[in-house]
Copies of this chain bind each other. A is one copy, B any other.
């Protein structure tokens, strides 16, 4: 089942206006969320971010519409863990880049099965030749502009790695193609700040909060590649894979078994159980 234009459809193939700017110009936003037994984890944070992006790009969608289309899909799901994708585009439009004066946004909600396998799976990173552009609004909001990330991932995989580390225009570390990055140094958890050209990830925010409850100090600050690469341990966060320890960055090896990483993952699992009723790692 999918939701398109406020209605449920059995099939993912629908009558679609090919002038939709989401298709012609990537003029849209999306969120990828975990749902356990029809309850979306950090639902408020995801919808807040989408509404923030909609305001930044002047896409006139209402929160009520996002909420109701999301609920429409959730109600059709059986018990279990699902990945939910909520997308909004500016809707149909004419030729040219100028935003139409009256837009009729398109909302699409789809789901896919979730697997626990990638959670805590160690990943190897290589530094990408593609930089993250911290002056770009597309770097700060979750728009459909994923061409660079797709190319950076393909480049990393061609080099035998699992993901790419992207530096920003200043040469500081930013993020990977689909995750935020963290470094552990003693009792300090370090991560780039939001104006370093990163998406302000919902799991990133949660990890910063959980780390403080675990007695760690947290620092959001610009990090040079060498500071990052030489940290005690590194990990990634993502709404679907939750946490992945970094086992290698370029030619350097890292400690994927650092205890803080496992404790943070357990704390996320407990938080999901508290919010959605079950720890997905025990289900999926």
Contacts and interface: CB of A to CB of B under 8 A. Distances in A.
A85 B177 CA distance: 30
Contact of A145 (B32, B58, B148): B148
A19 B25 contact: no
Contact of A25 (B4, B17, B130, B150): B150
B13 A18 contact: yes
A26 B144 contact: yes
A146 B25 contact: yes
A108 interface: yes
A153 B98 contact: yes
A94 interface: yes
A241 to B, nearest CB: 10
A267 to B, nearest CB: 26
A14 to B, nearest CB: 6
Given A24-B144, A25-B144, A136-B131, A18 B16 contact: yes
Contact of A15 (B15, B24, B85): B15
A227 B59 CA distance: 37
A110 B157 contact: no
A2 interface: yes
A280 to B, nearest CB: 16
Given A135-B130, A138-B148, A150-B99, A110 B19 contact: yes
Contact of A23 (B20, B95, B154, B169): B20
Interface in A19-42: 19-20, 22-27, 30, 32
A97 interface: yes
Quickly give the copy total for this chain.
2
B12 A14 contact: no
Nearest to A17: B13
Contacts of A218: none
B154 A99 contact: yes
A87 interface: yes
A242 interface: no
A149 interface: yes
Contact of A137 (B15, B130, B146, B178): B130
10 contacts: A14-B18, A15-B16, A16-B18, A23-B89, A25-B26, A32-B95, A85-B95, A94-B112, A98-B154, A99-B154
Given A95-B112, A130-B135, A145-B145, 5 more contacts: A13-B18, A23-B23, A83-B95, A131-B136, A169-B169
Please list the 4 inter-chain residue pairs (A to B) with the smallest Cβ-Cβ separation, ordered nearest first.
A26-B26, A16-B16, A25-B146, A133-B133
Interface of A: 2, 4, 12-20, 22-27, 30, 32, 57-58, 83, 85, 87, 89, 94-99, 108, 110, 112, 129-131, 133, 135-138, 143-151, 153-154, 157, 169, 177-178
